Amino acid sequence: MSLAHAGLQARIKAVAPGSVWTHCSIHRESLEHSPPLHEVLQTIVKTVNFFKTNPLNTRDFKMLCEEMVA
């Protein structure tokens, strides 16, 4: 986390006093998400990793993504 008076946040506030400090969206979600969301994200990561393990799986994954977009 940033130090409010000594680090980057303080320097930005010195130049732009009206600025608002916030975590990036990924970190903010990480701080807020509940265990069920964490489980869903883990399942998604495992699924993507499965498809990326070999060229055939990667090709199938690419076709699946293209079908979803179309």
Same domain, 70 and 41: yes
Same domain, 27 and 14: yes
Residue 11: which domain range?
A: 1-32
pLDDT tens for each residue of 1-43 = 445 556 777 888 888 888 877 666 666 566 565 667 778 888 8
**CA distances for 29 relative to 2, 10, 16, 47, 51, angstroms:** 17, 24, 26, 21, 25
State both tokens at 6: 């000594």
Same domain, 38 and 65: yes
Burial, 51: exposed, middle or buried (Cβ in 10 Å; 0-12, 13-18, 19+)? middle
Q: Which residue has the higher pLDDT, 68 or 27?
A: 68
Same domain, 40 and 13: no
Q: Residue 16, SS3?
A: coil
How many structural domains does the chain have?
Answer: 2
